[in-house]
Structure 1
Amino acid sequence: MSTTDNAARIRCENDVSLSEAILRRPEVLKLREQLESQEKKHKGPGVRRRLLSTSVRLSRSMSRPLHDMADHCKERLGIASPFELYVYPSPSFNAACFKPEDGQVYMMFSSSLLEAFSENELLFVVGHELGHHVYRHHEIPIGYILGGDARPSPSLALELFTWSRYAEVSADRAGAFCAEDLPSVARALFKLASGLTDDRVVQFNLEEFLSQVDAMLAFGEQPGQGAPIQDWFLTHPFSPLRVKALTVFDQSELIRAGGMSRSQLEESVRKTMGVMEPDYLKGKTEPARVMRNLFIAGAVSIANAFEGISDQEKAALSEFFEDGFSIEKLDPDQLLALLPQRLDSAVEKTSMSQRMQVMRDICVVARAETPVSDIEQNLLDDMADRLEMPADFVTQCLSAPIELD
């Protein structure tokens, strides 16, 4: 088997299917055509020029170890493109791989990440970033779609959020495939999530880190320490979920002979990541019913809060429900009166993670028409406060990071 086949072989199936579906959507096709046209007409400073003006290029003589790591990952993933490496000063752990320019791949790392991560941890980070490149994730302009003036439909927004999480799973697999050291991979994700690097303060324990995910999957409990809970509902998967997905990947036939089958692997990943999706709209359990009632009251109240329910907001609401559901039959004033009761019921009968799931979806409706008015923002904040959520959760949902990391 060629090294080129390795990358395709380990890519997450949901990443493949969702990206293909998104790239077929007319609005995405149109936007990509517009962006390509703009790039041809307005040839401004390129990626390399911007990097040279804001960061330090690391030549092979300046950082042979990092170049050797990149060479190793390129070979493992079957990448032929030349690359350049850059570092910029920052106390935050961060890395990025930019959309190729003239066939050249550019990777950038924060100074703190290069200093704090071990060789195998860095191999994972480099492999992860090259995974985004080899899987051509940059073909979906998620930042332009979610951050542009013309807001996408809620169905596209939710599809993009879902795809981006599976894209991270694929990139994580590429990184783990390059590092070939699951404990180091998990430790890298722990460092990225917590910011902790000093073993004198906290000693990382893989089993305890994973038990956090098992508890969430079994009981729907909120995540504990290790990463901000609100990050769980944005574009990137909550770090313990990523480690869980990589653990089953490491146990699969893609890595070891006689391991779990590909179908079992992908089903396990879907189950793990599925806790982030809005399946409560069709669920028949008591928590699902409470979540559904809260969503209807909250979303309609938000849509009606400023100058009534607009056509865009009606369209946004309709995309959450099955065909035949009539929004016109809903009474906004009555639902607003019921909202406090439904908020209290949610606190009593659902977990924090479930309540955050509903609030994230209500924020999707709020973003259907921009800018979000002060009245809508205040109502969202009041709802989040009554649901006992972190003070900045709504703000993060309304202005979530919308690029792959």
Structure 2
Amino acid sequence: MALVGKWLPRLDKVKLRDAVASGKDQIESFYASGCPQSVFVQRLEFLADNLTFGNRRAILKDLHSLAGVSDGLDEDEESLIELASLTWAVPKDDDGVTSWSLPSNHFSRKIRFESEEKLTAALRDSFGLQNLSTFLNAKSREHCELARKESVSRGHGVSALLLPRVRRLVDEVAESLKLEETIECYVVEEAIANAHVFGGLNHDGVHYITLTSALVRAMNDVQLRFVIGHEIGHVLYNVNDLGIFLHEAYDDEDANPSMALRHLFGTWSKWIEFSADRIGLVACGDRLEAINALYRVCTGLNPSETGFSADDYLEGIEKLDEEPIDFEIFQQDTHPPLPLRLKALDLFANSETFRSLRESTEIKEDEDLQARMKLIASKADFYSPDPLHSLRILTVALGGFCMINQGSQSGEAEMKKVEEILRLFVLDPAPVIRFVRQMLDDGDDVEEALWNALAVLVHENPEERFPLLHFFFDVTTADGQLNEIEYSFLFALGGHMGFSPEEVGSILIKRIGGGSFLEMQVPQSIRSILGRPEAFPGKQFAEPLGFADSVEQSEEPLCSSEDDINAEGVMESCMSSLFDLVINPMQEKLAEAERQQLSLIVERFQEIASKAKAFEELQKASDD
């Protein structure tokens, strides 16, 4: 079963030992007090800190199948699984557990911008966000609470008595979008028309929308519906976890994404606005008012006062395909440029997809919409920040191959370092590496090409010299060695970039001292010169570690052992503790079929737990 062999503790060993010991003590009080829900929740929260998201899903699936072996789930069993699902932030579906996404029949799934959906899923999977779900949900609650407090301090909560118009619109939009989650809304005093949302479907709390007073004053009801719908779109499409992940990953002052990732994240942040705008249009139902709402938010101006005509403007930006506008100046923005955003919204408003949705028929795909949206999306994807970008990555690759030729080893470590450095600038370094390999195959002088590329880069931007020399040093020392020929080549590189020999020497020495390169150069003979014993006296651990393989032991000493403990023993004790908490209160009402299934699991637990007596021997050995 999924319950066995998939639960892995994530605490360090000492913390696990203390936590399991505390858990065992609390089981007795749990039963003695009549199994109150508050104690049960406390234990579930403890296990949430020990188990990954996949582990929690596996447990709930097992409990769901175990409880429903005979005649389905009764009220108590359903309540138990509901409580565990909520506490562990693992929403239920027909099989007991679901992913973070919307139900498959929710209309918003079928109108989402396809490329954005694929990009978001790829980023979420690549970064392993489901394995960080406990942390991300905790951070989501923290961010929501901070946002709520700030909104309360600067404005007012939207209620039916204080701000009846806004409250009515929020409720109407949520209902029209078939959102069952709770939405709280605040209006803050601010002169700029703006709105933002905190929360997402993977967040097990309330979602907060904040509107500025300037926005509420300036917009009519239809336009406000668009804005509110747009913000709820971010909730429906659940981009909150990825946003929090990026915020936490680069929260420190010195933590910045590479150029390649910075451009990737910038594209993603723009594309999610295309999808959210579609939800806003569904919420308001009026193409022109949706465009006017975007115009107000992006310009801060009233379209009726400026003479803005949505149709005239849209007709004008149709020329974007023939006369491209340079959108590179918007690469640092989190939202798409207004022309792209309005054109994308207009395309969706006139699509077969939107028409079929409004007519309450089966939502149809529109291939023309998808094709034209890819063109618009490509204009919001910035990946070459300056004309020297291609020359820079070519120089790194050329320098890497030249460095490999100076070494005496195979060059495998150096090539991996070249690829690692190139990924700072491009997501896929393979094309530039193939290009340089082809130069070698064609007999071109790669070293001469490197000198020419360096000359152009340094002439255009002298500051390029410093990171390039650092890159070349990292490539050269990737194998942990730096021979005389490699030293000479680094000095030659520095000379071609305009450094004096003294400057090159200073830069290299500082680079040498910045990592573990010097430690790697210390020979093993140093230990004998110093008269030191081996750094790790492994013999004294051999016998205690051997005890862990015994199958004739008890798990009781686990609670008191002061030494390192066996991770498997901790895992199974954690499993046993949870099993006692969840299953024992249900024992009396289990049907025969359920008892048989339960007995198989118990036998497996007993078999594994019997190994744990090694901890008793370990404790005795340490006491002696």
Fold similarity call, TM over 0.5 = yes
**Alpha-carbon distance between aligned partners in 2 of 1:244 and 1:252, rounded to the nearest angstrom:** 12
Contact 1:251 1:260 in 2 (8 A): no
Q: Is 2:224 aligned against 1:119?
A: no
Partner of 1:7: 108
Letter in 2 for 1:250: A
Residues 81, 252 of structure 1: CA spacing in aligned structure 2 closer, same or farther, 3 A cutoff?
same
Residues 335, 313 of structure 1: CA spacing in aligned structure 2 closer, same or farther, 3 A cutoff?
farther
Q: Is 2:215 aligned against 1:94?
A: no
**Alpha-carbon distance between aligned partners in 2 of 1:93 and 1:320, rounded to the nearest angstrom:** 40
Partner of 1:392: none
Partner of 1:276: 380
Give the match's secondary structure for 1:122. Answer: helix
Q: Tell me whether 133-142 or 257-266 shows the greater mean CA deviation.
A: 257-266
Partner of 2:238: 136
1:215 Cα deviation after fit: 2.6
**Alpha-carbon distance between aligned partners in 2 of 1:121 and 1:55, rounded to the nearest angstrom:** 21
Q: Is 2:123 aligned against 1:22?
A: yes
Contact 1:85 1:108 in 2 (8 A): yes
Question: Could you tell me which of 323, 334, 359 is aligned with 2:455?
Answer: 334
**Alpha-carbon distance between aligned partners in 2 of 1:38 and 1:172, rounded to the nearest angstrom:** 26
Residues 180, 210 of structure 1: CA spacing in aligned structure 2 closer, same or farther, 3 A cutoff?
same
Contact 1:85 1:106 in 2 (8 A): yes
Deviations 1:240-279 (A, max 9, x none): 2111111111112222149984222122111112123358
Partner of 2:322: 218
Give the match's secondary structure for 2:334. Answer: coil
Residues 321, 12 of structure 1: CA spacing in aligned structure 2 closer, same or farther, 3 A cutoff?
same
1:191 Cα deviation after fit: 1.3
Unaligned runs of 5+ in 1: 224-228, 281-290, 303-309, 341-405
Contact 1:169 1:242 in 2 (8 A): yes
Letter in 2 for 1:266: Q
Partner of 1:322: 430
**Alpha-carbon distance between aligned partners in 2 of 1:236 and 1:336, rounded to the nearest angstrom:** 32
Contact 2:423 2:429 in 1 (8 A): no
Unaligned runs of 5+ in 2: 1-102, 397-416, 438-445, 462-624
Letter in 2 for 1:207: D
1:153 Cα deviation after fit: 4.3
Q: Tell me whether 210-219 or 6-15 shows the greater mean CA deviation.
A: 210-219
Matched-pair identity in %: 23
Partner of 1:294: 388
Deviations 1:188-208 (A, max 9, x none): 1111221111634x1111133
Contact 1:88 1:110 in 2 (8 A): yes
Letter in 1 for 2:430: E
Question: Could you tell me which of 194, 209, 226 is aligned with 2:299?
Answer: 194
1:49 Cα deviation after fit: 3.3
**Alpha-carbon distance between aligned partners in 1 of 2:313 and 2:331, rounded to the nearest angstrom:** 15
Residues 17, 102 of structure 1: CA spacing in aligned structure 2 closer, same or farther, 3 A cutoff?
closer
Deviations 1:337-356 (A, max 9, x none): 5638xxxxxxxxxxxxxxxx
Give the match's secondary structure for 1:265. Answer: helix
Deviations 1:215-247 (A, max 9, x none): 332111347xxxxx8336633111121111111
TM normalised by structure 2 equals 0.45
Partner of 2:149: 49
- CA RMSD between the two structures: 3.8
Deviations 1:286-330 (A, max 9, x none): xxxxx985323467899xxxxxxx987544135364342559964
**Alpha-carbon distance between aligned partners in 1 of 2:138 and 2:117, rounded to the nearest angstrom:** 26
**Alpha-carbon distance between aligned partners in 1 of 2:164 and 2:104, rounded to the nearest angstrom:** 23
TM normalised by structure 1 equals 0.67
Letter in 2 for 1:274: S
Partner of 1:205: 309
Give the match's secondary structure for 2:302. Answer: coil
